[in-house]
Structure 1
Amino acid sequence: MAITMQIFRIRFFILLSFSVLFYSCNNDTENPVVELEAIDILNESYGNTAENNMDVFLPAGRTTEETRLFIYIHGGAWVSGDKNEILAFRSLVESSFPGYAIISLNYSLLNLGTGTGQFPDQENDIIEAINYIVSKTEEWNVSNNIILAGASAGGHLALLHGYKHQEVGNIQAVLALFPPTDLNSLYGFNALTSQGLQVLLNGTPESNPDGYTESSPISFVTPNSIPTVFFHGTSDTVVPVSQSEILAEKLEENEVPFYFEAYPGEGHGLNFGPYAEVIQKAADFINQEL
């Protein structure tokens, strides 16, 4: 009788194990893990004006744990330009920063005729845009880890936000291409630059010193500043390479991790060939620092 009960128990547990295994396999078949498809969200509004919009390129297979954000700010001397600037090298970013979500921003532009769109409108737009992006991370299935990037005026805005408003968004590193960094010394570079900055900042460095200081990224570099990578052409006639050299000196003084490279003979807006190289070098530096 004892042997019979033992055999029964063995058969029962074998049957129970097969039932659990069958249910688990069947349940996995009914509820397979589905990888999210890539999605482009165009002209997503983040503010109250027509200029407050962005394009969002979400990669396939994204997750809130793994998918970092590459946020790009276009150039154009604060008076022109468009978020479509990213399209010229989006494929390069996707190649060097695989798996990242890419977001390209529009922001308020200065009207030289009317004077509307003066600073700090652009600075405030970047704050608003990043706060909006952070609020959408769960819906978009991305993390809140941000690489902030920009070219020319966009590089200036990326650096300014990264240093001055580091608490707004989880900014982990900043990439800047031929950026203005010290508006005090940039004023007077040429007549056109002086005129534009005078309208943008409602005065000169003498008449509005606080405005120039508060709008210059180098004013906010500290030992706690985020890792920075930037590139500049030595023959730039719009934003002189000295602007990046000043930033490099400031970062070095504060022992902030950075990588800077000047490209001999390149002007404002590198040729497409160097773009592939600098974006990969930026990715290599950022991956090393994160």
Structure 2
Amino acid sequence: MIRLGLSIASLLLSLLSVFNAPTYHTWLLAVMVSEFPLIFMGIALVLILMSSITERFKTAGTVISVLAFVLFSTPVARALLIADNLEIELNQALKGNHVSASGHPAFSFWKLATRGNSDARYDTLRYAENGGAAGTMDFYPADSAGLRPCIVVVHGGSWSSGDSGQLPELNTHLANHGYHVASVNYHKAPEWQSPKPLEDVGQALLFLKAESERLKIDTSRLVILGRSAGAQIALLAAYQNTVPGLKGVISFYGPADMIWGYSKPASRWVMDSRHVMENYLGGTYKQVPERYSSASPIEHVSADSPPTLLIHGRNDVLVAYEHSTRLAAKLEANGVPHYLLTLPWATHGFDYTLNGPGGQLSTFTVDTFLRKILK
């Protein structure tokens, strides 16, 4: 009976590989289930073996455990399918930016069993004298000599939490591939509201340009990358103002349409997204509609907007996948080179590890995008 109970629990857990998480804590579980599939596939295999040798509920336990194993493996199977045509699709989407093949696969099954690297050296620099902790950045120097491009990273955290040390694996990866990385802190809600974080990122860019000779930055090759709330800031920085030398912007599951997002909030069992937006924008949509409009990247897209990479999971329960599809449609209508990497199984924060199915595909896509726009 215990074995059957474990098999049923495993099956319920495996459903998070396919369906949206219903609560905050199951969302956290969904990140683990979808991005560390080998662990859960191994558990299901053990339960299959245990069920096959027991006398009671043998057939039921085996069938349930096999179904759980299949569901646990779906992120891997889907990642393999996406990887087959990923580089071809990127070349087609980013018109006029064709580059040669990368030489390594977009997804490797064996890489799922390896550990990511977040041990790169960085220096904490102050970009604003009166900004306190919010006026600092973590600067990861490129491992290549000479002037190098710089990727400015804006962290997530519902505009009210998080810091420059968030998810450092990608920063390390990019530094090891010849890019400077500046991971920026900014002022947070509710004490500070929009557009203060955007102003902070603008000030950080000015600092990097002023210190470009010392830091060995090629100011003609800049890219802004943001996650979640940080992606909203990054997209605004790229679309709202002309940034000399900005070659592209990358959004990981960012809210692109604040007006639509307020009308279609996340489940309150997961996150009170309306309250989060009100803290950041200073009121409800009815109270300050102009702030929702001005803070919506989709409202600032034009034919002059820089090439854009959007990365989003269909099972995102914090920032709806439709934010990225709506922005992609606006970019398409304005003739802006862009690509939307859709991860059918992935939820918010899937890039917690770069070696999971979503982490591998997104890292490959970021690498390819940067090679194309910075060549």
TM-score (norm 2): 0.62
Corresponding pairs, count:
244
- From 167, 174, 178, the counterpart of 1:99: 178
- Unaligned regions of 5+ residues in structure 2, if any? 1-119
Cα displacement string for residues 125-155 of structure 1 (whole angstroms, at most 9, x for unaligned residues): 1111111111110111221121110110111
1:170 aligns with 2:236: no
Q: Secondary structure at the match of 1:85?
A: coil
1:52: how far off?
1.0
Relative to its length, the structure with more helix (as a share) is: 2
8 A contact 1:72–1:86 mirrored in 2:
no
Q: For the aligned residues, what is the CA RMSD?
A: 1.8
Give distance in 1, aligned partners of 2:189 and 2:343. Answer: 30
Query: Offset of 1:195 from its aligned partner?
Result: 1.1
User: Residue 154 of structure 1 aligns to a residue in which SS?
Assistant: helix
Tell me whether 1:63 sits opposite 2:146 in the alignment.
yes
Measure how far apart 1:119 and its partner are: 1.1
1:48 shift after superposition: 1.3
Structure 1 position 121, deviation (Å): 1.0
Letter in 2 for 1:245: T
Write out aligned runs for 1:36-55 (5 A).
40-50=122-132, 51-55=134-138
Q: CA deviation at 1:234?
A: 0.6
2:200 aligned partner: 125
Paired residues for 1:133-144 under 5 Å = 133-144=208-219
CA deviation map 1:66-105 (0-9, x unaligned):
x10011111001000010014233333245xx21111100
Quick check: 2:259–2:293 contact (8 Å CA) kept in 1?
Answer: yes
Provide the rounded CA distance (Å) in 2 between the counterparts of 1:139 and 1:39: 17
User: Deviations along 1:243-271, whole A, 9 cap, x unmatched?
Assistant: 00110110010010001021112111115
Alignment partner of 1:268 out of 348, 364, 368 = 348
1:181 aligns with 2:260: no
Which structure has the bigger radius of gyration? 1
Query: Aligned partners of 2:254, 2:126: CA distance in 1, in Å?
Result: 26
Distance 1:198 1:60, change over 3 A: closer
Q: Tell me whether 1:146 sits opposite 2:146 in the alignment.
A: no
Shift of the alpha carbon at 1:160?
0.7
Question: Which residue of the partner structure matches residue 277 of structure 1?
Answer: 361
Matched residue, 1:237: 317
Quote the Cα distance in structure 2 between the aligned partners of 1:100 and 1:93.
6
Q: Is the 8 A contact 2:247 2:373 kept in 1?
A: no
* One-letter amino acid of the counterpart of residue 81, structure 1: G
Deviation at residue 46 of structure 1 after TM alignment: 2.7
Q: What's the CA shift string for 1:161-189, capped at 9, x where partnerless? A: 0011223x421101110000010011141
- Alignment pair present for 1:161 and 2:244: no
Residue-by-residue CA offset, 1:209-248 (whole Å, 9 max, x unaligned)? 2111111111110011100001111111100001001101
Quick check: 1:227–1:286 contact (8 Å CA) kept in 2?
no
SS at match of 1:143: strand
Mapped partners of 2:230, 2:337: distance in 1: 21
Give the distance between the partners of 1:126 and 1:175, measured in 2 at CA. Answer: 15
Higher relative contact order (CA 8 A, sep 6+): 2
Letter in 2 for 1:125: D
How has the CA–CA distance of structure 1 residues 102 and 203 changed in structure 2, closer, same or farther, with 3 Å as cutoff? same
Equivalent pair of 1:39/1:60 in contact (CA under 8 Å): no
